[in-house]
C-alpha cells in the first residue's frame, strides 16, 4: 500500500486542500468588501468518519438546500444554507454584507489551522520514513 493511501495522511491532505480553498473564498470576501450587493461566503468544514474517510459515500461535500422550497437531497437530512449563516450580520446601504474584521479573523484562524495541519502532515511523513529506515 502506498504511503499516500494511509487514512491519516489522506485526512490531513483533505484538510490542507479545504484550508487552501477556504483561504481563496475568504480572500474573495475581503476583495469584494466594497462591491454593492455582495454577500460573504464560507465553506462547510468536511466531516470525517472514525476510519478517516470523509463522510458521505463519495467523499464529496453534501448538498445544501438554499431554500426550503427546494427538493430535499436523497437520503434525507442535508443542511440548509440558513444554518451556516450568522444571524446578526449587518448589511450596508449598498447591500454589501462583508464585515472586514470578521473576515480577517477567519483568514488568520484559517492560516494558523493550515500551518498546524501542514506541520502534522510533514511530521507524519518523517515518522513513517524513520520507521522504514529511510529517515
Three-state SS string over 72-99 comes to CCCCCCCCEHHHHCCCCCCCCCCCCCCC
Radius of gyration (Cα) for the chain, nearest Å? 19
Q: Is the pTM of this model over 0.85?
A: no
pLDDT digit string, tens, across residues 68-126? 777 776 665 555 544 444 545 577 777 888 899 999 999 999 999 999 999 999 999 99
Amino acid at each position: 500500500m502506498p504511503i499516500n493511501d494511509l487514512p491519516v495522511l489522506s485526512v490531513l491532505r483533505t484538510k490542507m486542500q479545504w484550508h487552501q480553498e477556504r483561504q481563496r473564498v475568504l480572500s474573495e470576501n475581503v476583495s469584494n468588501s466594497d462591491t454593492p450587493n455582495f454577500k460573504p461566503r464560507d465553506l462547510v468544514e468536511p466531516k470525517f468518519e472514525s476510519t478517516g474517510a470523509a463522510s458521505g459515500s463519495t467523499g464529496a461535500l453534501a448538498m445544501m438546500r438554499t431554500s426550503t422550497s427546494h427538493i430535499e437531497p436523497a437520503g434525507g437530512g442535508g443542511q440548509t444554507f440558513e444554518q451556516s449563516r450568522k444571524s446578526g450580520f449587518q448589511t450596508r446601504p449598498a447591500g454589501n454584507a462583508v464585515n472586514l474584521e470578521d473576515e480577517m479573523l477567519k483568514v488568520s484562524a484559517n492560516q494558523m489551522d493550515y500551518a498546524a495541519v501542514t506541520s502534522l502532515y510533514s511530521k507524519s511523513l518523517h515518522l513513517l520514513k524513520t520507521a522504514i529506515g529511510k529517515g
